[in-house]
Structure 1
Amino acid sequence: MNEKEQLKLYTEEVEKVVMSYLPAEEGHQKTVLEAMNYSVKAGGKRLRPMLMRETYRLFGGASKEIEPFMAAIEMIHTSSLIHDDLPCMDNDTLRRGMPTVWVKYGYDMAVLAGDALMIYAFETAAKSFALGADPALAGRCIGLLAEKTGIYGMIGGQTVDVELTNKPIPEDKLDFIYRLKTGALLEASMMIGAILAGASEEDIRKIEKIASAIGLAFQIQDDILDVTSSPEVLGKPVLSDEKNNKTTYVTLEGLKKAKEDVEKISGEAVEGLWALPYKNQFLETLVKMLVKRES
């Protein structure tokens, strides 16, 4: 099996896990449930749950206890996309080649769907206890998930991003935005995999550093694609950063340096994986493929 075939197989496996935890579309609140599921079912790379599972496997994990957390991290990521697309944020009408949630279900229902997915993610993560997870480790993972999602993580990064829209962003604040808005959930994904598998504190810290590098490289590549790709390939509007007057890594450093830095930072992440006492070849391959993606 070559790398692309392996990626396709693993993506399908992760997809099944995520889909299995979506709520049934029934009851008087059916509309918000449909909007939640529509956003998750729209597709995506399933990068975060895949990184979580492969890090879990890296440290010898081999149980279904990881699966509720895999679904939860994808729900949180998707909830952030629903809100990012709103008229009060990026005002995008296309996501993964489909109408964004607010376009299809209305502004009000999109806000509720984003909120609901984020809360439902924690309800889902808690199902790990019933699958035999060590209570102390699972509890720590839920706390970490909240930290990396909230004011000291993704939402903290989004706050600074929104406040500086239409304003020049200095390099230190752009770094802050990227490390929290994008990096935090990637850190949560890999750290939860390591923690739940019983990794040492030293290795958990190393994983956090590796994930932070992956997140930064991933976001810079996202900036590059926003100016070099097309809506057909990307599945969403291009030049949206320019439209929203956003400072990006490309506008600060230029396209050539941005491409060079993606290679450099992702290389540091792979070197970090090599330095660990355990090996997962697919995890290394996945990191390399992510930063060379075209969509």
Structure 2
Amino acid sequence: MGSYDALLVLSFGGPEGPDDVMPFLENVVRGRGVPRARLEAVAEHYLAFGGVSPINGQNRALVEALRGVVDVPVYWGNRNWHPFGEDVVRRMKDDGVRRAAVFATSAFAGYSSCRQYYEDIARISVEGGPQLVKLRHFGDHPGFVAAMVDHVGQALEKLPDARLVFTAHSVPVSAPGTGLYEAQLRRSAELVGEAVGRTDWDLVWQSRSGPPQVPWLEPDILDHLRAIDAPAVLAPIGFVSDHMEVVYDLDTEAVQLAAELGRPLVRAATVGTHPRFVHMIRELMNEPSQPQCAVDCCQAYARA
């Protein structure tokens, strides 16, 4: 396939039991000086689900789906938990992999969603190991859009008079790359909205963290649900799988708020292992070249 002899699915990682939760969160925030109390509060989100993040199971399912579509070996590694990317790349070296496509499980620009994956690739690369080539942003790719259209359409069938509300992870307004991140999300939402016959959609934000005095993208999903006097279909377009920030922020907090407000709410699925999304990854691998971001694009920013 193309000029690659392997595919590496590179993701965020997540705990797989209660004992994993705090070590995992410490890995996520290493070097940032996040207070212990903040980590303990976030840990409660995971512990409410038995200490198991859905993301690892979903990545395993994606890898299995890809093995039926691509004709090269498929590996999976994480930034913050087992299997760690550096361990997987060493195994790839031992397996004789020379050049691998890297599919990062994030569709859009920005530091955490893109630039940090370039940093990961540099960090986990080993001398004599495979060349790792990150595949491009894909939020406007027809495969991603088609998968979202299917899932949003299914949700709208359950609640046809609902307001269509797209959600994505909030980021600090001042963070490098925020403008491009928001513009790409709005373009994806526009494409999905057009395909399902909705031009009156909203794009809102979720999962913000950090000190309250630092402005982040708004409105927050919960504030937005309070402000609109209508049933809602939530479409988490900023995420590729139903991981913790989806099942907690949307399926738990947003669902609870909607019940309190007495307003119907349906949440559309993420692209997950939708066949068009899986085949999209093969199509990205077959593109003759991969646009690479400038080395100073979406650089790290001070976070607390």
Higher helix share: 1
Which structure has greater strand proportion? Answer: 2
TM-score (norm 2): 0.28
Which of 1 and 2 has higher RCO (CA within 8 Å, sep 6+)? 2
